[in-house]
Amino acid sequence: MKDADHPFFRPLWRRVALVVVCLSWAGLEFYNGSQTWGLIALAFAAYGAWQYLWLYKPPCDQPSDPSLPKE
């Protein structure tokens, strides 16, 4: 979960699915009575939501124009 700029995370549905899976895992752990693992999975979900939904900035997909000066 470190490289948020990886091309795998470009589609929004994959980023949302990652957070939903972590939340589901947390719910399953809480349902089974394992509060420690539930909190760990909840922390993963919070980190994923922060990195992949809140802070995520998609890369610019516009092709560069060779006539423009490079920055």
pLDDT at residue 47 in the model:
92
pLDDT at residue 40 in the model:
96
pLDDT at residue 51 in the model:
87
Residue 1 contacts residue 56 (beta carbons within 8 Å): no
Phi, psi (rounded to 5 degrees) for 41 = -65, -35
Long-range residue pairs from 23-30, CB within 8 A, at least 24 positions apart, any chain: none
- Spans of the chain, pLDDT less than 50: none
Q: What pTM was estimated for this model as a whole? A: 0.73
